[in-house]
Every structure is written in structure tokens, then in C-alpha cells.
Structure 1
């Protein structure tokens, strides 16, 4: 329930607070005063699309806020999810629209996406105006209305049907994709096999290109390395027969011999002799290692270099197509293996998908038939209930029919064509309301539907924008009476131009237009006593002081009690 609505700088409304509260609120006023702006304000709170053109001329932004009371746990869940406050069931919602078109929303004291207002409005409001009457002419809206009346059992079947329908459609699409792309996927499989065979033939090892590059660098300089090793070996331990040739080992040995002759004269010399003997051994070992190193170089030679270059060339061949490194080539091979495994399973997958599609189609058909049965039963009940309401709305002989026609084609909503038909008098053939119902008849059909649906699926707040369009007299009185009845279970807010409807309101608000000062602005006032009587007289005759109009207004107010 909306307890209060605050509108600022929206259309012709400068700044106005509307005390709403429970029961039936009627909103009246002169043409152009801004009555419809109240509905527009509620639309903004419901998350509807904003329009910068609705911002009052000269204002930087329009702002709408509302105090809403709700005990719905789903509303509390949405508010908590957004981080807002909902204290004792009271929720503050607001929406601002700048003159540049920027829109912002707040829920429970925190900024929120505008879409969150839409989620909340589904649980809080139902707005009906001329556009809703037009929407009611569509078969989609008629089907949704019937399904809503069908209750929880029909809703559960529809959910199951849509789940199976979506699963079947996805499986069928996958089956068609695999079937239509078999040749392409077979070619893809051949390509993947060729790539894997090419990689397997080389059998790369992660990181080996680095080792090969270093090896090739070494082998490319083998002669220089061998000459250096041989030269160094000769300098350490020469094998020359030349008595004048002196190597490092020989010189150290001479030094040892010279010191040994005098070692007994000074103990310190003995320590030096030991050091030189150790150096002699190290020189001998180093000479042997250099000789072995030179030997190895001779054995590796050009053959080893050729083999290393050939291996690197094989790897480079892979690098051109499958990755810049051996790691990338191996990763490509792993991916190709997985893709090939997936393609190789196509035949098995096709068989499984075909069986799945058949099973799901049977389940889908069974649920569609169950939907048709449930809709047909609900249609009979809805037709009888709406016909009774139409009789109370000055259409005593009208017969409302909800027609359910099974179709062969399965859609996302089943296999039924739903049509609302109306026979306005006895003997008339029921015809689609989209083609045959007048504006006044359509207004009453919509109201009758809402009264019936309120019993099956209550909505906290109904907002009607000129639900009485196209009617008057006794029909208008019955519309007012039915709106009052609807307000026993829900809050009802009605924008009307008929005194016969406003007479049944428990709360009467008037939108007042003020054109002084060279510009127009409107505000809203609550009416009671003589002020309400004068407004009722104005609605009846256009004059708020006419004695006859005042008498008639008093009579209507008495009737509406």
C-alpha cells in the first residue's frame, strides 16, 4: 500500500504531497490540471522509462518519492539484497529525472538500479490505463491473464513446460548443428590428425631448443676450442722431446728440488715444499682434463654439429605453425587432442541427442496437453465469473467467454490460442473483444477481470487511469461500486472525471491548477465536507455552485456510503 506520494517538478505539478492510504482514492480535477501526472509519477516509481520532457519547465530535475507499506517477504528480500532499510514494513522509494534525461533511483535509503524498481513493482502495483485496455486486446495479454487466474497449479505446469521446451529446443539445435556440420567437422578432424602426426614425428621435448642452440654454438667453434685446450695442456705438461722446452709442471718440479736441498736448514721451507707438490698434482690433473676435453671435441666433430642443426630445423618447422616454443607446440597438441576426441564422439553424440530430443518432445507434448486441460477448466470459471461481474456493471445480458483452442505448433507458452470473446446481448455470437468491444465495454471488461483476479491473485495496489472511459450514468455508478468492492482487499487509486465513480471513494483528492503569475502549476488537496460536495457538483455540471448539481452530488455521496 502507498501511504503517501510526493511529486516535485513533474509536468505542471510544482510540489505536491498526496495522502493516499488504504481504501479507494479518487483523483479528480479540471482538464489539463495534471491528474495523469499522478499516474506518470507512479510509473516512474515502478521503474518505467523516464522522459526528460516530463521535467517541469525551468526545473533542473523532477523527483517522485513514495512511502510504501508491505509485508511481502519477497519485497523484503529484494530490499535486503540492495542494502536498503525496511523498518516495520515501511519502505521509501524515490526516482529523479534530470532535465538532461539522467535518471536515478533510491530504495530504502540507498541508491539502486532503476530496474530494481521494476522488480519491486511486480509485487506492489498494478497500473491500468488506456494503454492497458489496448494491451488487453492482444492475445498474449489475454493468455497471461488466463494463466494468472489459473493459479499455482497452472503456473507450476507452465514452468515445467517452459523448462522442457527450452531443453528440447537446445538439444534439437545442437543436433541440427552437428548434422549440418558433419562434413566440416570431418575435415577438421583430418586436419587435427595431420597436425598431431606431424608433432608426434618430431616428438619435441619442452625446452630442448635452448639446449640445442647452446650445443650448436659450441660445436661451431670446436677448432678454436680444441687449439686452446691443446695449447693450454702443452703449457702445463709438455710432451715435447726438446730439452729446452719448459712447461709449468717441470718448472714447479725444479722449484721443489731446489727447496728440498735446504729444507733441513729451516722448517718453514718444508711447508712451502708441500704447497708446491700440491700445485704440481693440480697442474697434472688439469693437463689430463684438457687432454680429455680436446679428445672429446675430436670425436664429436662435424657429424654432431650436423645432427644438432637438423634437430633444430625440425623444431623450427613446428614453430612456424604450432607455436613459438616447444612448450607452446606441446600445448597446441594437447588442445588438438581434446578437439579431436570431441569430434570423434559426434556419431555417439548424434545418436544420444536424437533419442533425447524424441523423449523431450514427448514430455513437452504431454505438458502442453496438460496446460490445455488446465486452461480450459480455468477459462470456464473465468468466463462465468467475469459474466457475473459484467451483469453488475450495467451489462446484465453480456456473456464473457475465454476461448482455448489447441494448436499443432508448440511455442514457449504451450500449444493454445487464447481469445477473450464478448456477446453483449442474448442471441449474439461471442466475438473477440479486440474487434467488437466498444471503449466503454472494454473498460468494464477490464475492471471485471481485475475484480475476479483480485480474488485469485491479490495485488496490494491497483491504479486506474480513467477506467470509466466511454461510460456514464448507471454503468458509471456500478463501476464506482465495484471499485469500492475491490478496495476491500486492495488499495485502489483511480483518476476519474465522473462524479458517479468518485462518489464511492473513501478518500477524494483534487488536482488544482493555478495559472496566476504567467505560468501554470498544479497541486493536490484532500477534499472533505463542502469542498468535496462542490467538486462533485463541478464534475456533474461544470459548476460548483449550481443548486441542482449540489443536490445531485449530495445524493451520489449518500449512495456511495
Structure 2
């Protein structure tokens, strides 16, 4: 419920703060006094877009603030979802800076316009004349029917399933596209995969083979040098082994005479042991060296295969070839297992579809059961509003398709005249009739939904006399369940309000400003009398105004 609206530096308003209460509140004022400015400011704080033209004084920022009492409207979950602190008295503030930048806050926490608009739909319903065209919108018509059908939880459940089903179908299409694309490359990828599989490429193989081939290609030089090396070590006359043996013998004989000789002798012995070990390895290498032309050819062929594979796949090492092999394995595997994956995804879709069908069936049944009640209530309300021959034809038709709010199609037709043909509301109802139909619809919604505040902006245009009394009675009845604010030009409606506010213009130092004030009982009498007879208020108008108020 809106408890206070404060406006600073907006359009023709310099500074204004007004308190609102529950029940039916009336706003009146002369044409052009600024009633639309009030709604504009309220729209701004509820998420409408704005620009610098909203500023009265372009050197100062514009601030609009709305205080709302929201304790009894089950909004805690929404506040949690959008990460806002829940306060039973919530303050929404909108600022427009001279630079043109706009900022919005809920309980002093910055928010986006998207969040404001979401919150707006849960707090205030502003209804103006042009919004009567909403009556022809199928989604709005479903909103009315579902309110009576108590379908809120069912539709929430359906929408969760609908989102899940849409996602699963999207994933299935993606899988099928991947399979189609993969199938086109499958034969070629399979050929490349098998080629690498048969090659049995190992990461370190190339370096080992290249070393082996280098050895085989230089076998003669290796043999010659090994032989010469052995000759230098084992020759009886000049061989290193014999020389070291002689050196060791000489030093052994004097090692006992001095620690110095003993250390030198030990070092020679160590060298002799190392040389003996080297000789053994040289002899072993010389004995085992053997040139095998077949082995060289095999290694050469193997290396050529690896070089060719690397060139074919535009890589420079076996390690990269192994990575290519793994990628090809995955691509081939995707195609070969795609059928199983797609079947699994289809089973998920079938399962969700089955559950969704059940919920959609419950929604449809509740809608079908509620349409006679809706038809009866609307026709009764319209009869009270002077449309005795108004008739509705509302039919729920099953659809094969999953729609955003169920599996129903809706035929919502209207006839204003006795014996007249049914047709779409926008084609067969006049502007005045649409206003009364919308009021009736809002009345039905007010008893079946939990909306804190509704604002009617001259919904009574085009009616007078007894009908205006009926409109006032309906608004009064609605105000027992919710806060109702009505901007009106009819005295019959103005007199029914529990609170009455007047919008007026005044000129201060050559500058026109718009103001709003709450009227006292005496001021209400004068205001309503003026609405009845104009600026020149007669005694009979004052008497009539008092009668209306009483």
C-alpha cells in the first residue's frame, strides 16, 4: 500500500509530499492542473524511463520517493531472489541528475530498472484509459481466468517445467547438429584415426630412432676408432694398462716410506681401476658392433612414416601426433556414441513432457471450471453499470503445443447488444464500454489476487448519472480489499472517497507550479459543488454536494 509520495524538482512540481491511507482515495482537479504529472512521477519511481525534460530546474537533481507498507503481501521471497533487504515499510527512490544519469534505490540499495518493474507489478496497478486495449490481449485474459481458477501455483510449476523442457529440446537440437556435422567428417576422421592407431606412435620414439640411425650410418668410423682406442690401452709395449701397471708397482714399493707417496700410489690405483673398466666397455662395444642393413632400412622407414604423419597433420613432434590421435578418438567416439546420447536426451524430454502434460491438464480443468463463474460475474457487474445486454463467450480450447502458460488456446468474445453477434472486444466494444468492462475485470481480480494498490486514471470518462454511482460503489467495494486511488472528474465518484486530494496550479513570482493537498470536509463540499456547477457555485450545488457526501 502506498503511504507517502514525495516529489522534488519534477516537471511543474517544485516540492511536494503527500500521505495516503487505505480505502478509497480521490484525486480531482481542473484539466491541465497536473494530474498526469503525479502519475508521471509515480511511474518514474516505479521504473519508467526518464530524461532531462523531467527536471523542473535542470541545475538540480530530480528526486521522487515512494513509501509503501508491504507486510501482508508475501514479498519476502521476491526480495531474497533479487538480493534486497526486506522491510515492512519499503522506500523506493529514483533520482535523475542534471547530467541525465538516472539512479534507483530500494531501501537504499541500488537497483536496476528491470528490478523496479518487477517490483511494480507486485505493488501498484496503474490503470488509464488507453490500457483498456489490454482487454484484447490473450495473456491478460488468461491472467483474469487464472486468478479465478486459483492457478498461480500450478502455472509456476508448469513454467519451471516449460523452461526445463525448452532447455532439453535446445540441447537435443545441438546434439543432432553436432552428430550431423560429425557424420559428414566421420569417414575421413575414422581413416586418420586408424592410420595413427596402426602407427602406434610413442612420444619419445623419434629421438631414439634418430640416434640409432645416426650410429648405423657411421658404423665404419665407429669400428675404426674403437679398435684404435683398444690398441692404445692394451698394447703390450705402449698400452696405457701396462704403463699404469709399471707405475703402480714403482709407487707401491715406496708408499710405506711416506704418507705423500702412499696417497699418490692410491690415486694411481684408482686411475688404473677406471682404465680397466673403460677397457672392458671398449672390448664389449667392439665385440657387439655389427652393421645390419635391414635394421637401418627399417629404422629409416619408421622415421619416414613419422615425418610423413607429422607433415600430414601439420605438427612437428610425436607428442603433438599423440594429441591429434586423442582428438580424433574423441570425434570418432562422439559419432559412434551419439545415438545413445540422443536417445538418452529424448527420454529426458519424454519424461518432462509427461509431467508437464499432467500439470497443463490441471490448469486447463481449473480454467474450464472457472469460466462460467467469470462470465456470470462480469455480466452482472456490467448490468449494474448500464450494460444490461452485455454477454461474454469464453471458451478454453486444448492445444497440441506447449505454450508459456499451459496447453490452452482461448476464445474470449463479447456482445454488447441483445441478439448481437459475438466478436473480439476491440472490434465490438466502444471506448466507454471498454472502460466499464475493464473496471469489472479489475473488480473480479481484486477479490482473487493480492495486489496492494490500484490507481484508476479517469476510467469513468464517458459515463454519467446512475452509472457513475455504480462505478463509485464498485470502487468502494474494491477498497475493502485493497488501496484504491481514483483520479476522476465525476462528483458522484469524488464524494465516495474516504480521502480527497486536489491537484491545483499556482503562480509564484511568475513561475507556475503544480501542488497537491488533502481537502478538509468543508473544502470537499466546495470542490464537489464546483465539479457540479463550475466556478460560480450555487447554493443548490453546495446542497447537492453535501447530500452526495452524506
Compare 454-463 and 252-261 and name the one that shifted more: 252-261
8 A Cα contact 2:179 2:335, kept in partner: no
**Residues 265, 71 of structure 1: alpha-carbon distance in 2 compared, 3 angstrom cutoff:** closer
Q: In the alignment, does 2:226 pair up with 1:200? A: no
- Which residue does the alignment assign to 2:305? 314
Compare 185-194 and 377-386 and name the one that shifted more: 185-194
Tell me the TM-score normalized by structure 2: 0.85
Distance 1:83 1:91 in 2: 14
Pairwise mapping of residues 159-308 of structure 1 onto structure 2 (< 5 A)?
A: 185-209=182-206, 237-239=233-235, 243=237, 245=238, 247-263=239-255, 265-266=257-258, 268-293=260-285, 298-299=289-290
Report the CA distance between 1:519 and its aligned residue. 3.9
- Which residue does the alignment assign to 2:40? 40
Report the CA distance between 1:102 and its aligned residue. 3.2
8 A Cα contact 2:123 2:452, kept in partner: yes
- Which residue does the alignment assign to 1:418? 410
- Which residue does the alignment assign to 1:91? 90
Distance 1:161 1:78 in 2: 19
Pairwise mapping of residues 436-451 of structure 1 onto structure 2 (< 5 A)?
A: 436-451=428-443
**Residues 424, 339 of structure 1: alpha-carbon distance in 2 compared, 3 angstrom cutoff:** same
Q: Which of 370, 380, 383 is residue 388 of structure 1 equivalent to?
A: 380
Distance 2:504 2:95 in 1: 23
Report the CA distance between 1:5 and its aligned residue. 1.3
8 A Cα contact 2:393 2:422, kept in partner: no
Distance 1:361 1:295 in 2: 80
- Which residue does the alignment assign to 1:5? 5
Distance 2:73 2:368 in 1: 32
Distance 2:256 2:337 in 1: 92
**Residues 369, 60 of structure 1: alpha-carbon distance in 2 compared, 3 angstrom cutoff:** same
**Residues 134, 229 of structure 1: alpha-carbon distance in 2 compared, 3 angstrom cutoff:** farther
Compare 478-487 and 356-365 and name the one that shifted more: 356-365
Distance 1:543 1:6 in 2: 30
Q: Deviations over 1:104-163 (max 9, x none)?
A: 2211221122222223223222221123212212233222322222113xx455456666
Distance 1:541 1:228 in 2: 132
Q: Deviations over 1:370-402 (max 9, x none)?
A: 55443232111001111222233333x143414
Report the CA distance between 1:193 and its aligned residue. 1.4
- Which residue does the alignment assign to 1:102? 101
Report the CA distance between 1:339 and its aligned residue. 3.7
- Unaligned 5+ segments in structure 2 are none
**Residues 294, 57 of structure 1: alpha-carbon distance in 2 compared, 3 angstrom cutoff:** farther
Q: Which of 478, 488, 500 is residue 496 of structure 1 equivalent to?
A: 488
Compare 352-361 and 426-435 and name the one that shifted more: 352-361
8 A Cα contact 2:73 2:450, kept in partner: no
Report the CA distance between 1:61 and its aligned residue. 3.7
Distance 2:532 2:131 in 1: 27
Distance 2:268 2:65 in 1: 102
8 A Cα contact 2:182 2:331, kept in partner: no
- Unaligned 5+ segments in structure 1 are none
Compare 116-125 and 405-414 and name the one that shifted more: 405-414
- Which residue does the alignment assign to 1:20? 20
Compare 339-348 and 349-358 and name the one that shifted more: 349-358
SS of the residue 1:67 aligns to: strand
- Which residue does the alignment assign to 1:455? 447
**Residues 459, 163 of structure 1: alpha-carbon distance in 2 compared, 3 angstrom cutoff:** closer
**Residues 86, 249 of structure 1: alpha-carbon distance in 2 compared, 3 angstrom cutoff:** same
Distance 1:300 1:16 in 2: 107
Compare 127-136 and 161-170 and name the one that shifted more: 161-170
Report the CA distance between 1:486 and its aligned residue. 0.8
Compare 504-513 and 286-295 and name the one that shifted more: 286-295
8 A Cα contact 1:85 1:91, kept in partner: no
Distance 1:23 1:530 in 2: 20
Q: Which of 389, 394, 397 is residue 403 of structure 1 equivalent to?
A: 394
- Which residue does the alignment assign to 2:519? 527
Query: How many correspondences in the alignment?
Result: 548
Compare 436-445 and 543-552 and name the one that shifted more: 543-552
**Residues 70, 282 of structure 1: alpha-carbon distance in 2 compared, 3 angstrom cutoff:** same
Report the CA distance between 1:301 and its aligned residue. 8.0
Distance 1:183 1:462 in 2: 55
SS of the residue 1:556 aligns to: helix
RMSD across aligned positions (CA): 3.8
- Which residue does the alignment assign to 1:472? 464
Compare 255-264 and 456-465 and name the one that shifted more: 255-264
